[in-house]
Amino acid sequence: MKIHEHQAKAIFARYGVPIPRGYVAMTVDDAAAAATRLAQETGSPIVVVKAQIHAGGRGKGGGVKVAKGGAVEARELAQKILGMQLVTHQTGPEGQKVRRLYIEQGLDIARELYLGAVIDRDRRRVAFMASTEGGVEIEKVAAETPEKILTVHVDPAAGFAAYQARELAFRLGLGAKETLGKFVKLMAALYEVVIREDCSLCEINPLVLTRGGDIVALDAKVTLDDNAEFRHPEWRELEDKDEEDPIELEAKAAGLNYVSLDGNVGCLVNGAGLAMATMDIIKHFGQGRGVAPANFLDVGGGASQEQVTKAFKMILRSPKVKAIFVNIFGGIMKCDVIANGVIAAAKELGLKVPLVVRLEGTNVELGRKILSESGLAIQAASTMADGAQKVVLAVAR
Amino acid sequence: MSVLVGKDTRLVVQGMTGSAGAFHSKQMLDYGTQVVAGVTPGRGGEKFEGSVPVFDTVAQAVAATGANATCIFVPPPGAADAILEGFDAGLALVVCITEGIPVADMLKVRRVLEGLRGKTRLIGPNCPGIITPGPAGVGCKIGIMPGHIHKPGHIGVVSRSGTLTYEAVGQLTAQGVGQSTCIGIGGDPVGGMDFVDVLELFQADPDTHGVILIGEIGGGAEERAAQFIKDKMNKPVAAFVAGTTAPPGKRMGHAGAIIAGGKGTAAEKIAALEAAGARVAPTPSDMASTLVSMMGR
């Protein structure tokens, strides 16, 4: 689960990771009031108006602007940014609508660095990555000048060790007496954030050294581990439904795994691996013929008939779907449950596009019998490849 | 012959009295697996299906029954704890079926596992389990896979995905080709046995003559497998990597199936496996036929 910069910074603040002063603004008036308040608190009229969307590259896209003229200018900038369709390299060409702003104090920046914490799945450790090349895309630094990325791994038994932070500090040029202690403290706090808040990603880009000698998280990007939701009831407050695909939200609420894609064949599959493989085989036979998967949908190993019905309805309602491929290898999932769920949805909403069904595994004979007696126009497939070819033919024609 | 599990496996089921645990314990008993004990804290002294004794702790179950493996159906909040309890009881094999364990919990589990230095093997979490096909007294099914699609034989199957494993097994059995042992290593970013750990066993097992390896996007496990195949294996390996069409940055069902920072794409993995001498099936429908064609030569 992704969260906004201002939410990530609120978490940082609770653990003692230094952040600039700032206030959330949902309206232009809020933005002006926040700028006035910041000017009073800091003695400087300079504030930064920052669009809050769940995507990086906001500055380049025009979603982050500096107001040197206090509240009046902050208001003007807020007017421009709030409601704009912000396009960045992570949003896709249609962009993301800006619905909230974060108004932050301006800092006198001496240096910009990069600091990130990720789960290094190959080493099975939390890895801290740091670089002197702050403020730019870290993927680009990693690709072009990998020697500029410094990495340390934390032993989960021993926990974070101060020497690891010192090692980074010296190599980042933060070894001076006044910065060393601050950096070590910041790293220790950030590790606490990662572990106790169940982050799968925690990125500060840039981490800045101010002319006053402070080290501050100027940006904050946090992704939370969805698996840990059960022990974080407070995460419900952090969810911003405006940033999510409405169909994906509906699927999540129904206990289904759904990802929207650009193609035209709706897929209903049991199991994540088989669901991905089903997308792949549609693309394999559909390439060059204008046929591609419209979604990833895994109904899971033990879905109920109601869940299958809900899943099939979601596909039926999508206007881009020109044909549907149901691909089931029943293990725990019984084929008759799938058949009944599909029929219930089709009877309620009507089946207006070709439907290809491949059933295999537990209770397969019963499932096939239920489908063939349903009166629905269903093309039965004997294998995954047969089904994919049939559904491609149905759309390409 | 087979790897890890067989006629000498004596299984305890943690979370036996929950709905998933009870259902699958029954299925495993029906397949012929020696399910010798169950564990549910607070339910010690009961009998499952009128015959299998239930204990409060894994240590008690092991002491009373001589169990040497465990299968875990405990829900996510207590699953990592259940794995640690299995480790501490000295079992040779811990199989964790549970999906949805926080990665921070698995980092700790993994660290403890490393300290055991091979005394205990962990399969999973978020996996279908492991099966050595065969009739009662020979075969052993630990997990949630449908037993009836399997057939005893000489092909090892290792996979990060459950249903895609069934797909491969179904294809093999349909062609009359049996399996030695099938292992689902799970779809989480941090878990127990890796492809390489399983390939090592298959390479050493005289009754495994060929291998189907099923990978997916995310992480570097397939690349490490490719290196092992290149350096250490002389048995044929057919492979499939799911997620050629998956968009970057999206979690595709499995917590571990995500292309992050441009890394972990299917194309990279397929290239590595092919360069190592594995043959990659053009579609998921061709996994068995790809292996059979390699072995026919």
Domains B1-126 and B145-297 share a fold: yes
Q: Chain B: nearest CA to A105, how far in angstroms?
A: 31
3-state secondary structure A331-392: CCCCHHHHHHHHHHHHHHHCCCCCEEEEEEECCHHHHHHHHHCCCCCEEEECCHHHHHHHHH
Rounded CA-CA distance A54/A6 in Å is 11
Cβ-proximal residues to A181 (8 Å cutoff; 6+ apart), any chain: none
Of A114, A191, A197, A258, which residue is the catalytic one? A114
Instruction: Determine the residue of chain B that is closest to A269 in CA distance.
Output: B163
Residues of B in contact with A200 (CB under 8 A): 103
Look at A298 and B253 and tell me if their CB atoms are within 8 Å: yes
As averages over each run of 10 residues, the pLDDT of chain A (397 residues) reads 96 97 96 96 95 90 92 94 90 88 96 94 93 82 85 93 95 93 96 96 94 96 95 94 85 87 93 94 94 92 82 88 92 85 86 91 89 88 95 88
Look at A121 and B256 and tell me if their CB atoms are within 8 Å: yes
By Cβ distance, the residue of B170, B220, B283 closest to A360 is: B170
Crossing angle for the helix pair A305-317 and A335-349, nearest 10 degrees? 40
Residues of A in contact with B214 (CB under 8 A): 273
| Mean pLDDT, residues B77-86 | 98
Query: At residue B87, what are phi and psi to the nearest 5 degrees?
Result: -60, -50
pLDDT tens per residue across span B111-129: 999 999 999 999 999 999 9
The answer to whether the beta carbons of residues A307 and A256 sit under 8 Å apart is yes
Give the β-pairing of B237-242 and B279-280. Answer: parallel
Average pLDDT of chain B, as a whole number:
94
Domain boundaries, chain B: 1-126, 145-297
Look at A331 and B128 and tell me if their CB atoms are within 8 Å: yes
pLDDT tens per residue across span B172-209: 999 999 999 999 999 999 999 999 999 999 999 999 99
Q: CB count, 10 Å around CB of A162?
A: 13
In chain A the domains, ranked by start, together with CATH numbers, are: 1-19+109-242 (3.30.470.20), 21-106 (3.30.1490.20), 245-396 (3.40.50.261)
By Cβ distance, the residue of A126, A226, A362 closest to B107 is: A126
Q: Is B193 left (phi over 0), alpha (psi -120 to 50) or beta?
A: beta
The answer to whether the beta carbons of residues A321 and A286 sit under 8 Å apart is no
Answer yes or no: B254 catalytic: yes
Residues of B in contact with A90 (CB under 8 A): 249
Assign A106 to helix, strand or coil: coil
Amino acid at B151: K
Q: Chain A: nearest CA to B124, how far in angstroms?
A: 14
Q: Chain B: nearest CA to A387, how far in angstroms?
A: 10
Residues of A in contact with B159 (CB under 8 A): 273
CA angle A137/A141/A143 to nearest 5° reads 115
Burial of B184 (0-12, 13-18, 19+ CB in 10 A): buried
By Cβ distance, the residue of A200, A285, A330 closest to B103 is: A200
Is 70 exceeded by the pLDDT of residue B1? no
CA angle B292/B294/B295 to nearest 5° reads 65
Q: Which neighbouring-strand residues pair with B141? A: B131
ipTM (interface predicted TM):
0.91
Q: Chain A: nearest CA to B64, how far in angstroms?
A: 31
The answer to whether the beta carbons of residues A281 and A388 sit under 8 Å apart is yes
Indicate the DSSP class of residue B278: -
- In CATH, what class is B1-126? alpha beta
- pLDDT value of position A304: 82
Right CATH number for B145-297 from 3.40.50.1110, 3.30.70.260, 3.40.50.261, 1.10.3470.10?
3.40.50.261
- pLDDT value of position B264: 87
| Mean pLDDT, residues B246-257 | 82
The answer to whether the beta carbons of residues B121 and B94 sit under 8 Å apart is yes
Look at A280 and B103 and tell me if their CB atoms are within 8 Å: no
Query: At residue A236, what are phi and psi to the nearest 5 degrees?
Result: -60, -35
Rounded CA-CA distance B28/B47 in Å is 16
> What is the pLDDT confidence band of residue B287, given thresholds at 50, 70 and 90?
very high
- pLDDT value of position B45: 93
- pLDDT value of position A204: 95
Indicate the DSSP class of residue A230: G
Residues of A in contact with B245 (CB under 8 A): 261, 276, 279-280, 282-283, 292-293
Q: Which two tokens stand for residue A20?
A: 């600039």
Q: Which of B161, B175, B245 to mutate to test the interface with A (most CBs of A within 10 A)?
A: B245
Instruction: Determine the residue of chain A that is closest to B261 in CA distance.
Output: A139
Rounded CA-CA distance B113/B219 in Å is 20
Rounded CA-CA distance A263/B42 in Å is 52
